[in-house]
Chain A
Amino acid sequence: MRRCVVAGAAALCLALQVRADEPLSPRFVEETAASGITTAYDGEWEFMVGGGVATFDCSGDGKPEVFVAGGAGMAALYRNNSALAGALRFAPVASGLELESVTGAYPLDIDADGLTDLVLLRVGEDIVMRGEGDCRFARANEAWGFEGGDAWSTAFAATWEAGAAWPTLAIGTYIDRAEEAFPWGSCTDTHLFRPGGRGFAPPLPLAPGFCALSMLFTDWNRSGTPALRISNDREYYKGGREQLWRIEPGKAPVEFTEAEGWKTLRIWGMGIASADLDTDGFPEYFLTSMADNKLQRLTPPALQAGRPTYGDVAFKLGVTAHRPYTGSETRPSTAWHAQFDDVNNDGRADLFVAKGNVAEMPDFAQDDPNNLLVQRSDGTFAEMGDVAGVASMAISRGGQLVDLNLDGLLDLVVVNRWQGAQVWRNVTEGAGGWVQLRLAQEGANRDAIGAWIEVRDGDRVQRREITAGGGHASGHLGWRHFGVGQATTVEVRVLWPNAEAGDWQPVASDTFQTLSPGRAPIVWQP
């Protein structure tokens, strides 16, 4: 039963009422039991955060495989055996990724060999796993000069700095886990792994670290050089804040300051999602937290002045997602992975938020349903997690909205603490059209991390920054999905990283297209 929460807050109450202009409600069917995915995110205190999932194609059939972090248990890679537009079916595959203490994972083609590699965040040594084809992976720390350290790693982002043939990785870490009675204030450093020699240079500390739980290289001001945004957990830092680091090629990283417009914000930062919601060309950022979530948008003066000053529009747009909207709970929520994507293909980005108690914190909801906030035409959002069928009460952490059966509808996989991951198939009837695009360029950065894809339908342009990082310990590499509503043809172009914008080119809806610099789109058939 849907409840109108905070009865005295008329504005919010109204925002939760069913409206005449409600968007098409998506519908998902849970197929966890038959899917073959069984991995739970296990473990106690050292695994209270993390719990990521990575989706990427390593079998070459275009369908994303699913890798699930297992925490104290074993991580697992599942081969995607789903039939086209059919039920979701997976089988565990012996991949070399069967490791303990994995908190999260991000796919990335580090060595530009055309095979996806995987960065494993761990409690202990982080490991870069080189893709060897056919879903086999091998440790590459030594070969690539990657110093995996011994920390509690919880956040990741990657970029290719201008002119670099090798990526720059950022890995955020959490608490000094040796501290028992007074762990507060013991946040360990974030590390930046820049290219060096035939791989990575020794890690450069981004100090102070404030217990990062999500990070994202993002071109917030469209300068062409992404900065590193870090969302930090205020539970453990002292003197900390949300951070934005200026990472310029060949220069030492420098943190943006209040004097430059970066206002102090202190939240239980756990996840970052970004999207250009208002189509002004600049991303908005959704930041997950506890009892409150933020949706940051550049303030008008900041937009004019090019300063990183953000206002919070979560309340205005109805995405505070601060407490359960279904079930009997009135206690506030705990939010983790967040992701903007279009689940009903109406051309507007929707928002998925994974929810779950840290463990058994009595001040927070124990039955805390995941959110699926569907965007209306006026830019506000409607909660549809319950009617869509994804309002799981499991203790969720990471997740991915991703088309697992290549039917053009985004499916959902969510990792849970102490319980097997869940899988839902999107079966929305009457959904709009779609295009799914894959970027491919020669040389380094083959997947064009840092590019912007633009999809134009008439005078409306959807823009998406292609990033590696963010969410909560969860990443995706492969098809980039756009809903296009009723359009049968749309125009697409790519603003390639550190290069000119490509030309606008028509593509038919309901198709997969591979986009490369200076070439016409190539249709891919599943």
Chain B
Amino acid sequence: MFPRCALAARADRVLMLALAERKGGADRVRRRAVTFGLAASAAAIATGWRPAVAAGPVEGRDVMRTWYRLVLELVRHTPTYSPPVASRAFACLGITAFEAVAGGDARLLSLAGQLPDLTPLPPREAAPHDEALVLHAALGAGVRHFFANTGPTGQRAMAAMQRHFDERLAGGLSPEVAQCSIEAGERVAAHVIAWSATDGGAVVENMGFAASAVPPSRPEQWVPTSLIAQQQAPLLPTWGQNRPFAMPSAAACGLPPPPAYSEMPGSAFHAEAMEVVKTVAALTDKQRRIARFWADDPMLSPTPPGHWVSIAAQVLATQDAPLDRMAEVQARLGIALADAFIACWATKFEYDLLRPVTYIRRVIDPAWEPLLNTPPFPEYPSGHSTQSGAAAAVLTAMFGEDFAFEDATHVDDGLPARSFPSFAAAAEEAGLSRLYGGIHFRAAIERGLEQGVCVGAHATALRMRA
């Protein structure tokens, strides 16, 4: 079936070839000693979420933590990775990691057959495998695929990571076990990559911005708010048509329309705009901190879905969670986040609502300025709210209703850690941060959180344990 696994006489050479092939992309990169320990972030240190160190045995948990830490950096430093695109990568990599772990853990149930069009994963050969190396091979292949378009520094980092774990993990194994493990992991990755190719999100051009935009014909429609030329058309207008992961369709978590557009003082719409104006005018220092803590701008952060992946990683590290638990949590969370952006984007482009800055300058105050930069796509519902609601639903199901935690995601960026009494409280604060920032009306936040709860329920309902 997989003859190279069984042919011990050839195994040494095959293993070396396999490793060399994966290093091919790094041929231009000068080899240096890996320095993961020195580069550990403040957040990582604060939470105990450290990469593998240079000595001692490497566990699957080290592999998972370290690759995920790199993924969060790659999301930040790969220009295509707007929040929806990032959420898809988190889902696919979460599924890849989970299936790699599940292949060697009878307690876990594959997601094949539960996620649309995901066929059964290739079976493993009946031979010994090293589970950490399986996971490393799977994540390495997945990361190389989903971040193939990252820049030269990201490529260099991926190569360094691959080399580091190749040497640490394969070095102590028999050639047969190492080869079987690498092949098993890479088959899992290949299967998920092939499946993902048809979901509608595989090709992202022009950093996700449409090549053209139809000028608005009604006053409530979204208009560009940015001075950046590329952002004169909206981000990813067809993302809501992507194949969902766990929810049956984007419409399964659809929303009622926002308050009817009106420029009349006293109307519900005008009242919402006035709330934004008054809120921004009277921001407290705490509210400003909250707005910036959750801003999670692309290219300057791991994006909003990455922020929740970071939260999950920190919680898992605090709990010293076993690998199967880590894989399950990150897979469910990634799926929920990806579905949240599909549902949210479908709704955004269904209602195509203008941003507060447009309405307020038109109707209330021509010189009005929001605290945060207004994102380049329609307003309703709030993406932060939908995806935070979905993430909180999953994490609450996994860790409990009143699970208090500290979030140090942005310590390296100079934003102090914040503490929350529950995931729901964090999600609510993330949603409200957009009101403080002056970029969302309240309805978008409240309905967004509700939409997220709906989305999260589908991810939570997946059967991942026997």
Q: Which residues of A contact B (CB under 8 A)?
A: 5-10, 12, 44-45, 48, 175, 178-186, 234-236, 238-239, 266, 290-292, 312, 314-316, 320, 322-323, 330-332, 358-364
Given contacts A239-B412, A292-B230, contact A183 B41 (CB under 8 A): no
Output the residue of A184, A266, A323, A330 with the most chain B CB within 10 A: A184
Q: Report yes or no: B36 in contact with A322, Cβ–Cβ below 8 A.
A: no
**How many B residues are at the interface, by size bracket?**
35 or more
CB <8 Å contact, B149 and A332: no
A-B pairs with beta carbons under 8 Å apart, 23 shown = A5-B229, A9-B232, A180-B34, A180-B156, A180-B157, A182-B36, A182-B51, A182-B157, A183-B39, A185-B412, A186-B39, A234-B300, A235-B153, A239-B414, A291-B228, A314-B227, A322-B228, A322-B229, A323-B230, A330-B211, A359-B151, A361-B152, A363-B80
Q: Is the pair A179, B214 in contact by a Cβ cutoff of 8 Å? A: no
Q: Do residues A315 and B35 form an inter-chain contact, with CB atoms below 8 A?
A: no
- Whether A6 lies near B233 (C-beta < 8 A) is yes
- Given the known interface contacts A10-B215, A234-B300, the answer about A179 and B35 at a Cβ–Cβ threshold of 8 Å is yes
B77 within 8 A of A: yes
* Residues of B close to A292: CB separation below 8 A: 228-230
- Of all chain B residues, which has the CB nearest A240? B413
Is there a chain A Cβ closer than 8 Å to B299's Cβ? yes
CB neighbours of B229 from chain A (8 A): 5-6, 9, 12, 292, 315, 320, 322-323
The complex places the Cα of A45 from the Cα of B79 at a distance, in Å, of: 18
Minimum distance in angstroms from A423 CB to a CB of chain B? 28
Residue numbers in B under 8 Å from A184 (CB-CB): 73, 76-77, 153
Q: Is B230 a contact of A332 with CB atoms below 8 Å? A: yes
For A12, what are the chain B residues with a Cβ–Cβ distance below 8 Å?
229, 232
Nearest residue, chain B, Cβ from A15: B229
B238 CB, nearest partner CB in chain A, Å: 15
**Which interface residue of B69, B153, B211, B233 has the most chain A CB atoms within 10 A?**
B153
Q: Is B207 an interface residue (CB 8 A)?
A: yes
Q: Is the CB of B32 within 8 A of A180?
A: yes
Q: Which of B13-56 contact A (CB under 8 A)?
A: 28-30, 32, 34-36, 38-41, 51
Name the B residues within 8 Å of A266 (CB-CB): 297, 299-300
> How far is it, in angstroms, between the C-alpha of A364 and the C-alpha of B150 when the chains are bound?
11
Report the minimum CB–CB distance from B202 to chain A (whole Å): 13
B284: interface (CB < 8 Å): no
Q: Are A361 and B149 in contact (CB under 8 A)?
A: yes
Query: Are the C-beta atoms of B36 and A181 separated by less than 8 Å?
Result: yes
Question: Quick one: given A183-B153, A239-B412, are A8 and B228 in contact (CB under 8 Å)?
Answer: no
- The reply to whether A291 and B230 form a contact with Cβ atoms under 8 Å apart is yes
Q: Is the CB of A320 within 8 A of B79?
A: no
Known contacts A9-B233, A45-B156; A290/B77 CB under 8 A:
no
The closest CB in chain A to the CB of B32 belongs to A180
A234 near B79 with CB under 8 A, answer no
- Closest residue to B231 on the A side, CB-wise? A292
The interface residues of chain A lying within 8 Å CB-to-CB of B228 are: 291-292, 315, 320, 322
- CB-CB under 8 A from A48, the residues of chain B are 152
Instruction: From A182, A234, A236, A358, give the contact of B39 (CB < 8 A).
Output: A182
Q: Is the CB of A181 within 8 A of B157?
A: yes
CB < 8 Å neighbour of B232 from A8, A178, A361: A8
- Across the interface, A359 reaches (CB within 8 A) one of B152, B207, B413, namely B152
Cβ-defined partner of B230 (8 Å) among A175, A236, A322, A361: A322
- The 6 A-B pairs with the shortest beta carbon distances in the complex, nearest first, are A8-B213, A182-B39, A9-B232, A239-B414, A7-B212, A180-B160
Q: How far is the CA of A45 from the CA of B29 in the complex (A)?
A: 7
Q: Which residues of B contact A330 (CB under 8 A)?
A: 205-206, 211
B206 touches A8 (CB 8 A): no
- 7 extra interface residue pairs, beta carbon distance < 8 Å, beyond A181-B51, A290-B79, A291-B79: A8-B232, A9-B213, A182-B39, A182-B69, A236-B153, A266-B300, A320-B229
- CB neighbours of B76 from chain A (8 A): 184
Q: Is the CB of A238 within 8 A of B413?
A: yes
Which residues of B pack against A, CB within 8 Å?
28-30, 32, 34-36, 38-41, 51, 69-70, 73, 76-80, 148-153, 156-157, 160-161, 164, 205-207, 210-215, 224, 227-230, 232-233, 297, 299-300, 412-415
Complex CA gap A148/B80 in Å reads: 38
Known contacts A44-B30, A186-B39, A291-B207: A8-B300 contact under CB 8 Å: no
CA distance A236 to B299 in the complex (A): 10
Q: Say yes or no: B28 contacts A44, CB within 8 Å.
A: yes
Residues of chain B within 8 A of A7, CB atoms compared: 211-212
Instruction: Assess the B211–A6 pair: CB atoms within 8 A.
Output: yes
Closest to B300 in A: A266
Known A-B contacts A182-B70, A291-B230; the reply to A45 vs B153 at CB < 8 A is yes
Task: Verify A181–B230 contact, CB threshold 8 A.
Answer: no
Flag if A45 contacts B152 (CB, 8 Å). Answer: yes
From residue A388, how far is it (CB to closest CB) to chain B in Å? 21
Instruction: A261 to B206: give the CA distance in the assembly, Å.
Output: 33
Q: How far is the CB of B275 from chain A (nearest CB, A)?
A: 25
Give Cα distance in the complex from A251 to B376, angstroms. Answer: 43
Docked-complex contact B227 and A315, CB < 8 angstroms: yes
Contact between A358 and B151, CB atoms less than 8 A apart: yes
When distances are taken between beta carbons in the complex, the residues of chain B under 8 Å from A5 are 229
Question: How far is the CB of B302 from the nearest CB of chain A, in Å?
Answer: 11
**Complex-state Cα separation, A234 to B51, whole angstroms:** 24
B157 close to A183 (CB less than 8 A): yes
A315 to chain B: which residues have CB within 8 Å? Answer: 227-229
CB-CB < 8 A to B213: which residues of A? 8-9
Tell me if B412 and A361 are in contact (CB < 8 A): no
Residues of A within 8 A of B157 (CB): 180-183
Residue of B nearest to A333 (CB): B230
Chain A residues near B34: list those with CB within 8 A. 180-181
Most central of A45, A186, A234 by chain B CB within 10 Å: A45
By a CB distance below 8 angstroms, the chain B residues around A183 are 39, 153, 156-157
Please indicate the chain B residues that have their CB under 8 angstroms from the CB of A361 in the complex.
Answer: 79, 149-152
State A75–B194 Cα separation when bound (angstroms): 47
Q: How far is B300's CA from A6's CA once the two chains are assembled, in angstroms? A: 25
Cβ–Cβ < 8 Å partners of B299 in chain A = 234, 266
Taking CB atoms, residues of chain A closer than 8 Å to B78 are 363
Contact call B412/A8, Cβ cutoff below 8 A: no
Contact B152 A181, beta carbon cutoff 8 Å: no
Question: Given the complex, which residues of A lie within 8 Å of B160, measured CB to CB?
Answer: 180-181
A183 to B70, CA, bound (A): 11
Whole-angstrom distance between the alpha carbons of A182 and B160 in the complex? 9
Bound complex: CA of A160 vs CA of B164, how far in Å?
A: 49
With a cutoff of 8 Å between Cβ atoms, the chain A residues found around residue B153 in the complex are 45, 175, 183-184, 235-236
Q: Distance in Å from the Cβ of B74 to the closest Cβ of chain A?
A: 10
Instruction: Note all chain A residues with C-beta closer than 8 A to B206.
Output: 330-332
Contact among A8, A312, A323, A363 for B212, CB-based, below 8 A: A8
How far is A239 from B410 in the complex, measured between Cα atoms in Å?
A: 9
A292 to B231, CA, bound (A): 10
A185 touches B32 (CB 8 A): no
